[in-house]
Amino acid sequence: MTEPFAYERDPFLRYLETDVVNVGVERGQAFVVLADTILYPEGGGQPADRGGIGGVRVEDVRTVEGQVRHYLTGPPPTGRVRVELDWARRFDHMQQHTGQHLLTAVAEQRFGWHTTAFHLGDQLADIELDTAQIAPEQLAELEEPIAAEVRACRPVTARRVSPEEFAVLPVRTRGLPEGHAGDIRLVEIGGLDLNTCGGTHVRSTAEIEALKLLGTEGMRGGTRLFYVAGGRLRRLLGAHHERNARLRQLVGTSDEELAAGVSAKLEQVKDAQRSIRALEEELGGAVAGALAAGPDRLVDGHWPGRDLAFLQRIAKEVVRLAPDKCVFLTAGEGEQGAFVLSAGEQVQVDLVAAGRKVAEILGGRGGGAGRVFQGKVATLSRRDEALGYLSALP
Ligand SMILES: [Zn+2]
């Protein structure tokens, strides 16, 4: 039997002095193999640790061809090295992971639901259960006994057993990694659960601190159940509280009325948008009427705060009212501008050619067909020049 690595012997070890036994490169990334390690390689749903080796950052740890490879962000050190573990991240993983053992055990004992997968995400953790549906009241029925087991401070221990011993022990699941040979590692929550696992765990259910179920999601062949445990739960609650405080201030309601308050504000915004659209229609009609009534064959207008849609609406109306007119409209200011060029039915002009020339003068681009040409421009500083060009057209 090979001696297990330090992360397995003592998952609370944060520093280790050891030797580099191999250095290599995989897909352009340097890695080292150590005589012993406190850095857990990805496995069993628990993500790989982060840390440092000889002052060089470790950004991933994986087991490849029987070796634990530590992937580095810098040149690999050699000889005797000090290994450091990103402890805050690891302890969070141990809380979520041990929480999963507890959640899985209680879900199985209370409801007969089997856990088929475990994921530990950046925000939430989840397990997949082989049940088609979980009712909200069942979540409450599940959460309470979990809290009781946390309060019971049940010891969490790990040990290796021989295949013979394994065969006679009441182990919850018997699945082993493909090609597994020799000793089997068991993790036990005293008096509650015994299962195979190669991960890292806290020492007692009390160190999980608390576990909160956060809802479910249907999936093919089962249900995904989200949860958070430990320090993550406190951080999540803190973030929610802070966000709520900010929202309370913005909306001016209590927590309880927040959703209704936001909903009412959104209704107000919708009403306001409807009014704006109606006013724009009215304004557009009035502006188009004034432009159409003027004496000049070429009419023009500019609105700093309007958009292309506004220009199009007015242009369309002007040439409808005055089919003998050509209309050149612009909107915007600074480096965000738009223009529309349109000609009535009685005007003889190659509008697309004229539109392209205007776009060129204004340093923009556009397109059109028939009697309308529109474009976006980078600057309106040469607007007068464009107008001059259009006035000179026959
Ligand atoms: Zn485990």
Ligand 1 centre to CA of 192 (Å) is 14
Ligand 1 centre to CA of 100 (Å) is 8
Binned at pLDDT 50, 70 and 90, residue 369 comes out as confident
Ligand 1 centre to CA of 98 (Å) is 6
Ligand 1 centre to CA of 224 (Å) is 19
Ligand 1 centre to CA of 187 (Å) is 6
Q: What is the tens place of the pLDDT at every residue in 305-350? A: 888 989 999 999 999 999 999 999 999 887 789 999 999 999 888 8
Ligand 1 centre to CA of 193 (Å) is 11
Q: For the chain, what is the mean pLDDT?
A: 93
Q: How far is CA 195 from CA 97, 187, 190, 245, in A?
A: 13, 5, 11, 43
Ligand 1 centre to CA of 97 (Å) is 6
**Rounded CA separation 142/102 (Å):** 11
Is 232 within 8 Å of 95 (Cβ atoms)?
yes
53: three-class secondary structure by DSSP: strand
Ligand 1 centre to CA of 156 (Å) is 10
For 102-109, what is the mean pLDDT?
96
| 1 has pLDDT over 60 | no
Ligand 1 centre to CA of 94 (Å) is 8
